[in-house]
Amino acid sequence: MQTLKYRSDRPNRRTTLADVARAAGVSIATVSRVLNNKTNIPIAPATIRKIREAATRLEYHPNLIARALATQRTSTIALFTKEMVDPHFVQMIQPVEAALRKRGYHLALCSETAGVLAEGRVDGAILLANPNAREDLFKGLSLPVIYVWGGPGPCPGCVSWDDAEGMAMAVRYLVNLGHRRIAGLFGDYPDNGSRSPKVEGYRRAISQAGYEPNDWFGCFTDDQFENGYLITRQRLAGRRDWTAIVARNDYLALGALRALREAGVSVPEQVSVVGYNDTEMARFADPPLTSVLTPIAEAGALAAIHLVDSIENRRTSVQGMGLPMTITERMSCAIAER
């Protein structure tokens, strides 16, 4: 039996809601509710499935301009960050896009600017940033904004994890392996890193264990991999009075691994190394890098869900929440030499 497709023979004709409704045997209003993810009126799962199958078969695509005019919404969410190519940030993109797509929204990646919000091109924004540093930028705008960041939380309008606790967790992990002299590789933080949550967490955990901090900073280059390499190589030129390194991120840790290898220092037999963020590159390091897993993918998806809920409930504030962290153990750490 031939399947009828309710489409005109006219070339380039756009499939309409009416076409989908006829194919599915339901009303246009029901099709609209399903395809726009409106759940305020119960619809049978079989009907929802039939409508979505018809829309796919007929290659239905919504007229976004018409929808925006009718609803006064763009159905677009902006994701702002300075770090477009950072592997840590990239882990967040797909979960955010998937969460938004399920709700009928689109994702726009943006460098950090308030212009996109002020001009009404998006319905809301997710920022990978410290809310305390950016609150003035969005003051006076009526659109909802939610922050994703590694600060102490939960805080209003944030989905967060605690980088201070994450770094303290890494230090405690090394202490439990018997390490007493643990270096903190922090790279090129401004103001010597004194206000960094990760530096604070490192110093707190070292102090609680009864040891002295040994934090490394340097401003050799903008390349963090090279920065980790150069700082570690400089420290290796003197007396090596440390048995472990905990790094601010995986880039710095990989640079340290290279410097140690070139100096003939065996990892993990002589020195243990822990990274941070557990990016894809940690799996392929030599040796594979133990790293603190920050929940950026989960945080991004939750931020998207809460932001859409805020938009559709006509609220501009978003409830905050904090997420836990874990350590991914690989092969770059061992029990300390005695």
Contacts of 224 (CB under 8 A, 6+ apart): 187, 188, 249, 251, 252, 255
Q: Distance between the two ends of the chain, CA-based, in angstroms? A: 79
Cα distance between residue 182 and residue 171, in whole Å: 8
Q: What is the pLDDT of residue 2?
A: 43
DSSP notation for 46-84: HHHHHHHHHHHHTT----HHHHHHHHS---EEEEE-S-T
Q: Where do the structural domains in the chain lie, given as residue ranges?
A: 17-62, 74-161+296-324, 163-293
Contacts of 138 (CB under 8 A, 6+ apart): 114, 117, 125, 145
Cα distance between residue 245 and residue 248, in whole Å: 10
Q: What is the pLDDT of residue 1?
A: 40
Residue 250 CB-density burial (10 A; 0-12 exposed, 13-18 middle, 19+ buried): buried
Q: What is the pLDDT of residue 5?
A: 46
Cα distance between residue 22 and residue 40, in whole Å: 23
Sheet with 290-293, strands from edge to edge, namely: 214-217, 182-187, 244-247, 272-276, 290-293, 326-328
Q: What is the pLDDT of residue 137?
A: 59
Strand 145-149, strand 158-160: pairing = parallel
**The residue to which tokens 């998806």 are assigned:** 301
CATH number of the domain at 163-293, out of 3.30.9.10, 3.40.50.1820, 1.10.8.60, 3.40.50.2300? Answer: 3.40.50.2300
Q: What is the pLDDT of residue 205?
A: 97
Q: What is the pLDDT of residue 8?
A: 43
Cα distance between residue 28 and residue 21, in whole Å: 5
Residue 217 CB-density burial (10 A; 0-12 exposed, 13-18 middle, 19+ buried): middle
Residue 191 CB-density burial (10 A; 0-12 exposed, 13-18 middle, 19+ buried): exposed
Contacts of 114 (CB under 8 A, 6+ apart): 137, 138, 141
Cα distance between residue 308 and residue 315, in whole Å: 10
What single-letter DSSP state applies at residue 193? G
What's the maximum distance between 2 C-alpha atoms anywhere in the chain? 83
Q: Into which CATH architecture does domain 17-62 fall?
A: Orthogonal Bundle (1.10)
Same fold, 17-62 and 163-293: no
Q: Into which CATH architecture does domain 74-161+296-324 fall?
A: 3-Layer(aba) Sandwich (3.40)
Q: What is the pLDDT of residue 44?
A: 87
Residue-wise pLDDT tens for the chain (338 aa)? 444 444 444 445 678 888 888 999 998 888 888 877 665 678 888 888 898 898 888 888 765 545 544 455 678 898 987 777 788 888 999 999 999 998 889 998 887 555 555 456 788 889 887 777 655 556 656 778 899 988 876 777 889 999 999 999 999 999 999 999 999 999 876 554 456 899 999 999 999 999 988 887 776 666 789 999 999 999 999 888 899 999 999 999 999 999 999 999 999 999 999 999 999 999 999 999 999 999 999 999 999 999 999 888 866 566 667 899 999 999 999 999 76
**The residue to which tokens 């922090």 are assigned:** 186
